[in-house]
Structure 1
Amino acid sequence: MSRAAAGAFIRRHPRWSLLFALCALLWALDRLFPPPLPSGNDGFIVLARDGSPLRAWPGSDGAWRYPVTPAEVSPRYIEALLGYEDRGFRWHPGVNPASLARAAWQWASTGRIVSGGSTLTMQVARILEPVPRTPRGKLRQIVRALQLEWRLSKDDILTLYLNHAPMGGIVEGVEMASRAYLGKPSRELSHAEAALLATLPRAPSRLRPDRAPQAAQAARDRVLARLERFGVWSPEVVADARIEPVIAQRLQGAWLAPLAAERLRGQARRAGSAGLTRVASTLDRELQATVERLLADRASVLPPRVSIAALVVDAATLEVRAYAGSADFADNARGAHVDMVRGVRSPGSALKPFLYAMALDDGLIHSESLLIDAPQAFGGYQPGNFQADFSGPVSVSEALQRSLNVPAVDLLDQIGPARFAARLTEGGIKPRIATGEQPNLSLILGGAGVTLEELVGGYRALAAGGVAGKPRLTPDAPIEEARLMSEGAAWIVRDILEGGGHPDRPFVEGGGAAPLAWKTGTSFGFRDAWAVGVSGRYALGVWLGRPDGTPNPGFFGANVAAPLLKDIAAALPHEVVPSRERPATVQPVDICWPLGTAAADTPAPLCHRRRSAWSLTGAVPPTRPDRIDGSSLRQTVWIDPASGLRTVPGCGHGQPRDTARWPTLLQPWLAGWLPADQRVPDWQPGCAPAGGAPAATLRIVGLNDASRLRPAPHQRHVSLQLAVRGAQGPVYWLLDGRRVTPDAGGKLLLTESGAHRLTVMDEGGRHHSVAFTVDAPP
């Protein structure tokens, strides 16, 4: 339109032009002076999976709110609110002329404000921008109400009221008031409770139901009378509501899962969330409260600065059901704010189940493969067991259940530390190793850092067909899974951890409480105690230690972490546990020691010990030769029939005999354990080939077989002077199978009377033993 045409239009239609100009002015004023809508930090709340609040943070003004929409609030409250405060809310433009006229007449007649004539929109305007109760303040309130109606929908305005109406003290909004005073969500309000919360904003300090229940009940009854008078509720409903007493709980700041909530809040901040925010978690409120109570009870008897962390995950969905990052969030002395669910610590032996599963998948072992628990050196690395003793011949099941170190290191040496670390990383368990270092054999004994969250996610594979996963704290978090082991290996390892892994044992499962398959771990120096496992459909774990990494002498996984893990497992939701179906790849098979082959394929004279094992994919791998003698364990030897001793062809009248040889490092344990007819005889004098009788050159000096020792007068011990002749390299001393170390002078003090056996071994596998007796002190 040209300027001339516009001028002609103004001259012909002056009223329309004036209206247009007025609208333009109002639009400009609205943009220049917008209503103060909520923005910025308006509070944050984390919810349990049932919608109940776990932890909340106040808004920038210090008020506590729980954001809801009208659809999430009981219709009874909406009826009570609009029926009492603003019956014309849905049709008026923000102000009700009739109500304003009535309020003005009352003010002019009495000289004071009798009723404000405010609509719900005007109340929202006053909440957002408090003004004095004067004509000028009322005019400003009206303008703001008109602006709100111009900018927002009716439901948006109602939502502002639901979330910001003052409810007493620092509580704002109907949902927070309902949960704080009544202990229930607003969607479950009764008629009486709805009427109570509808009137509370009129005088929130004077009508607080926890402090003034009588005043609150009187105000509630006035609301009920008005709702009956205007036909909002029937007389019968109102009569029933009047009977209900006003009972409110006192405001209290009880928090659950505070560190999990803090974690979710941090994630929301990094994602750029602002304003009134609520985040739904996967946590089970009841289980969370139980776990926190168990941790607090256990912490009460622990030394200062010791903390605990626990995690429970639904193995089916990877949803976290309980998350406790510290023992007591109110105890700063125990590192209350340090989240040890995510703390990187040494796992001790807690990685061993993954190693045995990998060896099963590689076809190196079955569940009863013969392993060697004896002193060994692996390129200078000499691991020992936690109890410092050795058991000699052990099965895979025994080694895993008893957490023996030497068999695990031996197995890792065969698999390769770098390959094992890579498999763990693929499965979500990320071993942290010092910068510039490579994975080594200490990895299986805790020589790398992991987190409780990663461990529980890894153990989840035992309950999910070998698939590990990352625990999820929110329902919308993506499912991150990775195969850590085969389904069959997971089933065998879980069976071992549950009950020993023997196919011939009584196996009763289903219809009762879920058994717990668990493993402990203790890091070097007693810095970390772990217990991790699976029970039914849950994967769970416990860590105990000091967040600063200082030692706790005498604290190890079995005596402090495992009992707590069992208590948590007992508190898991009770449900009928169906029998776990054994995968088709897992079959029972009888095997023979020492060869490790199937009993059906092993001649009876070579089957020294028959054991029932689980085989994976039909594989029955034989016992691996020991590191000392790499020759086959199945040999043909020549026996002199007259002496029964071993000989060679051409020396005497030897006759060939097929025999099974036990690994060299196990020889010290065979005497008294293996019948003589199953042992390879000693060499006949003069008939041993060169190097054929290495053990004969190794001898304990100073203590003869069948010796009898007696403590000196007024002494309660005997002193042994340990010496050896013919050793090559370092030697290991075993007293009754337990490794002992003499002092710098070679002395060893004995305080236990009775029969003993002293054994010495060198790194060449040679050994010598003597039996002796210590008399009781006089």
Structure 2
Amino acid sequence: MPRWHNALAAASFVLVVLAAFRLWPHEPLSAALPSSTALYDDQGKLLRLTLSADDKYRLWVPLADMPAALVDGVLLHEDAWFRWHPGFNPVSLARGAFVTYVQGGNRQGGSTITMQLARLKYRLNTRTPAGKAEQVARAFWLELRYSKNEILEAYLNSAPYGRNVEGVAAASLVYFGKAPDRLSLPEALTLAVIPQDPTRRLRETLADDDGLGAGLAAARDRLYARWRDAHGADAANDALFRLPLALKHPSELPFAAPHAIDQIVRENRMAGGEAPRIDTTLDLALQRTLERQLREAVKRLGERGVGNAAAMLVDTRDLGIKAMVGSADYFNAGIAGQVNGTAAKRSPGSTLKPFIYALGIDQGVLHPRTVLRDVPSSFGPFTPENYDGRFLGPVTATDALVRSRNIPAVWVASQLASPDLYDFLKSAGVARMASQAHYGLALVLGGGEVTMQELATLYAMLANRGVLKPLRLRADAPRAAGVRLLSEEASFMTLDMLRQNPRPDEATTATPARLPIYWKTGTSWGFRDAWTAGSFGPYVLVVWLGNFDGAGNPALIGVEAAAPLFFRIADAILAQDRTLAEPAWTVPAHVKRVEVCLASGDLPNAWCPQRGMTWFIPGKSPIRVSDVHRPVAIDTRTGLAACAPYDPATTRTEVYEFWPSDLARVFAQAGIPRRKPPAQGDCGELVAGDGQAPRITSPVRGAAYTLRGAHADERVAFNVTVDAGVRQVYWFVDDAYVGAAAPGETLFWQAQTPGRHVARAVDDRGRGDARELRIVAVD
């Protein structure tokens, strides 16, 4: 057989073997190296470079994304014959052995890029001849299994850059604060020469504040000379190399938005991800604004025992979180600063009240000018009180919301059908809630717990006209279509109610905010949490002040502590970005403006003296004609109500306000004069229309009363609210007459036998109300 046949057969065999090694399944070289993650804000600014699982700063970047200048510089400096040798260079090895062992000069290894990768990958000791031989064998093995580009990519991503920095991508961020594709030629060649002696060159350089150390500068300039020989001279590049160049210290790596970044990294690891780059929705400038304002607020309130704060800002247009500050100082262990307060469950106080009113609007319970009762009230066993211990009497729904009155809010919640507040919060994704029976109506006043992130989601839903969407921290998070929890009409009307809430510093603010602000405060029971949540322009802002240990503090009042911080942040953001504008609001098609009587919130009758306008949903909002103002014919001789037929010579008509007895009592207690309707003469007929029927307030609906022994002295209090024209109320139990009482007086009844009974109150106009009560025998 001719010799060339033998050579061809041998070559074919080698190619087949090589192909077998290359095609045999094996893991990529990147698999053995855990990666760091570089996280950026929405403007491409680095927020943090995390440590990898083995505590290295290392980012894997594909060779195609490496700058050509850096790749060429590394090849020129490290291994000019890389593309041609089989993993080792016999000439370089021989020269290195001769210099090291024969001449006794500085140690030279003669290593190729493949050999250096083998040393790094297999953790070899190559200072001995045996170690060097293993390195050569390992390098040859790598060349059999991987392509030249794969090997070069792996080396560039694992080359040592001092301390715990590995790979050109991480080194570029650490030492120059930029991604590799943005490196200048001097910077790229500087990185190319560092791995040859990273410890000495970086120690020398980082100690020199004025530029590169002498050794590193000389090595870089020698490489540039070879670069000019290979690529030709360029005056612009020569000028660049004459400019000073300094490396950043690794301690200068940014550590911004720590709570938000911790949350992203934790969620990424739980999902099994190890992305080398994550773009976030955060805005570093806004983040710093919130951090600065929180630090100043805690400094101001520190002498009053307020030690911590948290806040977050959400863009309602895409639900991206623009800023998240989980504590006043992340590095302060004394306040548990690394705890993310935005993810902690806390009582929201009254910040949930807007959603109660929105649900009430949706279910036809009220409209913004519906007049509600702020009077002593019981709701089953629950008897709420107002924060200030006072009662205002009749108050519009808007005033009740912005003045955070508890009694009206609980009444509205008690009228909700499906969904009620509990079902609404469950649908909105509020997690880890106890049973509905556990909260009862106390949920209205902050009896449950939510996180700041959940609260921000709710307020963003309100700003987005009732459509709930999840918050986003990662730019690649999908933008959900959302689910509607409130009607557009109810959301619009509720926001309009919140807009009328005057800011706490209104009297001292020279220039009010140029955009309307929709906001609500909250104070938890025991003064543990002070909240303010709201929206302005495209943003939702939520702030919290308190202490992570839950200690109560009288200074933690929403309107006094949290609201000033909320407005300082809002004002700072509006001043920072003059382009911010109010979203394009349009009045929903089904919302109308109607005239109502201001005293009652109902449609005005002919005698209503003061009228105003309110938003109204035809077919849904409650509608009836006001009967507070009624005409009464007065007998001029007696001053009493005249009896029909009326003699024009001895009668005149006057309009009186007919307030229910509970409201009349509040007016009297507050010292607000109200002219009482005149007493009715002996006419035996109604004076002015039918008026309002009695409304039993005690016995409490759903409550059980105890009977202890045969001679028990426990008595049940009977109370009722009646129309202003009523002078007497008659009480019956199971149709048996019990007694009579004047309006506002309490009648006591003692049960004789256990069981269910029906109490009935009838006024002197024949109008009545009934209530079932249960008597339980107790030994």
Which TM-score tier does this pair reach, normalised by the shorter chain?
A: 0.7 to 0.9
Q: Is the 8 A contact 1:644 1:681 kept in 2?
A: no
Report the AA paired with residue 593 of structure 1.
Answer: L
Q: Which residue in the other structure is 1:768 paired with?
A: none
User: Which residue of 2 is the match for residue 661 of structure 1?
Assistant: 658
What SS class does the counterpart of residue 171 from structure 2 fall into?
A: helix
Deviation string for 1:522-570 (max 9, x for gaps)? 1100111111111211222122222232312321212222222223333
TM-score, structure 1 as length reference: 0.75
Letter in 2 for 1:125: A
Equivalent residues of 1:48, 1:54 under 8 A apart: yes
Superposed CA offset, 1:314-346 (max 9, x none) = 211112222222222211221223222221111
Judged with a 3 Å threshold, the aligned counterparts in structure 2 of structure 1 residues 454 and 74 are, in CA distance, closer, same or farther, namely same
Distance 1:763 1:245 in 2: 91
1:168 Cα shift? 1.9
Aligned equivalents of 1:560 and 1:489: distance in 2?
Answer: 30
| Separation (CA, whole Å) in 1 of partners of 2:370 and 2:327 | 41
Distance 1:258 1:396 in 2: 41
Considering only aligned residues, what root-mean-square deviation do their CA atoms show, in Å?
4.2
Contact 1:595–1:623, Cα closer than 8 Å, also in 2? no
Q: Kindly tell me: are residues 436 and 500 of structure 1, through their superposed partners in 2, closer, same or farther at Cα, counting changes over 3 Å? A: closer
TM-fit CA distance, 1:454? 0.8
Give yes or no for the alignment of 1:187 onto 2:181.
yes
Residue 425 of structure 1 contacts residue 431 of structure 1 at CA under 8 Å; is this kept in 2?
Answer: no
After superposition, residues 226-237 of structure 1 pair within 5 angstroms as 226-231=226-231, 234-237=233-236
Match of 2:597 in 1: 592
- For 2:366, give the aligned amino acid: I
Given that 2:41 and 2:279 are in contact with CA atoms closer than 8 Å, whether structure 1 keeps it comes out as yes
1:464-475 alignment runs, 5 A limit? 464-475=464-475
Counting only pairs closer than 5 Å after superposition, residues 317-716 of structure 1 correspond to structure 2 as 317-416=318-417, 419-430=420-431, 432-433=433-434, 435=435, 437-480=437-480, 481-500=482-501, 513-572=514-573, 574=577, 575-578=579-582, 580-583=584-587, 584-598=589-603, 602-603=605-606, 605=607, 607-617=608-618, 621-622=622-623, 633=628, 637-646=632-641, 661-668=658-665, 681-684=677-680
Distance 1:78 1:645 in 2: 105
Amino acid at match of 2:455: L
- Contact 2:18/2:144 (<8 A) preserved: no
Q: Residues 305 and 334 of structure 1 are in contact (CA less than 8 Å); yes or no, is this contact kept in structure 2?
A: no
Q: Given that residues 67 and 163 in structure 1 are in contact (C-alpha distance below 8 angstroms), is that contact kept between their aligned partners in structure 2? A: yes
* Structure-1 separation of matches of 2:654 and 2:496: 39
1:376–1:763 Cα contact (<8 Å) kept: no
Query: Which range is displaced more, 121-130 or 652-661?
Result: 652-661
> How many correspondences in the alignment?
669
Which whole-Å deviations, capped at 9, do the CAs of 1:384-435 have from their partners, x for residues lacking one? Answer: 22222232232222111111111111211111597221122222335723x5
More displaced 10-residue stretch of structure 1: 567-576 or 643-652: 643-652
Q: CA deviation at 1:350?
A: 0.5
Alignment of 1:307-326 (within 5 A): 307-326=308-327
Encode CA deviations 1:663-699: one digit per residue, 9 max, x unaligned: 44332466799997xx55231576798999xxxxxxx
Structure 2 match to 1:121 = 114
Amino acid in the other structure paired with 1:151: R
- Any unmatched runs of 5+ in structure 2? 503-511, 689-715, 722-742, 748-760, 762-779
Structure 1 residues 469 and 367, CA gap change in structure 2 (3 angstroms): same
Gap regions ≥5 residues in structure 1: 1-11, 502-510, 626-631, 693-726, 733-759, 766-778
Deviation at 1:32, TM superposition (A): 14
Equivalent-residue separation in structure 1 for 2:60 and 2:499 (angstroms)? 46
Give the Cα–Cα distance (whole angstroms) in 2 for the partners of residues 554 and 217 of structure 1: 60
CA distance in 1: counterparts of 2:745 and 2:271, whole angstroms: 62
* One-letter code aligned to 1:585: H
What secondary structure is seen at the aligned counterpart in 1 of 2:201?
Answer: coil
Equivalent runs, 1:79-118 vs 2, <5 Å: 79-90=72-83, 92-97=85-90, 99-100=92-93, 103=96, 110-112=103-105, 116-118=109-111
Is the Cα contact below 8 Å between 1:591 and 1:610 reproduced in 2?
yes
Q: Does 1:165 align with 2:159?
A: yes
Amino acid at match of 2:539: Y
Taking a change above 3 Å as real, the CA distance of residues 296 and 170 of structure 1, as seen in their structure-2 partners, is: farther
In 2, the alpha carbon distance for the partners of 1:88 and 1:491 equals 72
1:451: Cα distance to partner?
Answer: 1.3
The aligned residue for residue 240 of structure 1 is: 239
Paired-residue identity, %:
35
Q: CA deviation at 1:352?
A: 0.7
Q: Could you tell me which residue of structure 2 aligns to residue 744 of structure 1?
A: none
Paired residues of 2:370 and 2:600 also in contact (CA < 8 A): no
Q: Tell me how far 1:457 sits from its aligned partner.
A: 0.4
1:145 aligns with 2:139: yes
Q: 1:460-509, CA deviations, whole angstroms, 9 ceiling, x for partnerless residues? A: 023212212221222333445322212222222222222359xxxxxxxx
* Distance of aligned partners of 1:669 and 1:289 in 2 relative to their CA distance in 1, 3 Å threshold: same
Q: Secondary structure of 2:526's match?
A: helix
User: Which residue in the other structure is 1:629 paired with?
Assistant: none
Larger mean Cα displacement after TM superposition, 76-85 or 312-321: 76-85
Query: Would the alpha carbon gap of residues 246 and 268 (structure 1) be closer, same or farther in structure 2, given more than 3 Å must change?
Result: same
d(CA) in 2 for partners of 1:65 and 1:296?
33
Relative to structure 1, the CA distance from residue 425 to residue 32 in structure 2 (aligned partners, 3 Å threshold; closer, same or farther) is: closer
**What letter is aligned with 2:41?**
A
Please say if 1:218 is aligned against 2:222.
no
Provide the secondary structure at the position in 1 that maps to 2:199: coil
The 1-side partners of 2:356 and 2:28 are apart by 64
Tell me the residue number matched to 2:294. Answer: 295
Equivalent position SS for 1:230: helix
Q: In 1, are the aligned partners of 2:21 and 2:144 still within 8 Å (CA)?
A: no
Alpha-carbon distance between aligned partners in 1 of 2:419 and 2:583, rounded to the nearest angstrom: 37
Query: CA offset at residue 378 of structure 1?
Result: 2.3
- Code of the residue aligned with 2:111 in structure 1: it is S
Name the amino acid aligned to 1:340: G
Give the letter for the 2:357 counterpart. Y
CA contact (8 A) 1:454 1:470 kept: no
C-alpha separation between the residues in 1 aligned to 2:424 and 2:312? 23
Which AA in structure 2 matches 1:313?
Answer: V
2:693 aligns to what? none
Task: Name the counterpart of 1:176.
Answer: 170
Structure 1 residues 23 and 348: CA distance shift in structure 2, 3 A: same
1:30–1:147 contact (8 Å) kept in structure 2: no
CA contact (8 A) 2:362 2:620 kept: no
User: Partner of 1:524: helix, strand, or coil?
Assistant: coil
- In 2: Cα distance, 1:32 partner to 1:427 partner: 48
SS of equivalent to 2:206: coil
Match of 1:282 in 2: 281
Distance 2:190 2:11 in 1: 49
Deviation at 1:183, TM superposition (A): 2.5
* Structure 1 residue 445 displacement after superposition: 0.5
Distance of 1:172 and 1:513 partners within structure 2 = 50
Could you tell me whether the CA contact under 8 Å between 1:417 and 1:443 is conserved in 2?
Answer: no
The answer to whether the 8 A contact 1:355-1:412 is kept is: yes
TM-score by length of 2: 0.75
Query: Which residue of structure 2 aligns with residue 39 of structure 1?
Result: 32
How far is the alpha carbon of 1:446 from its aligned partner? 0.5
- In structure 2, relative to structure 1, the CA distance for the partners of 1:763 and 1:555 (3 Å cut) is farther
SS of the counterpart of 1:206?
Answer: helix
Question: Take 1:105 and 1:98, find their aligned partners in 2: how far apart are those partners?
Answer: 11
Give the 3-state SS of the residue equivalent to 1:591 in structure 2. strand
Distance 2:397 2:342 in 1: 31
Matched, 1:54 2:47: yes
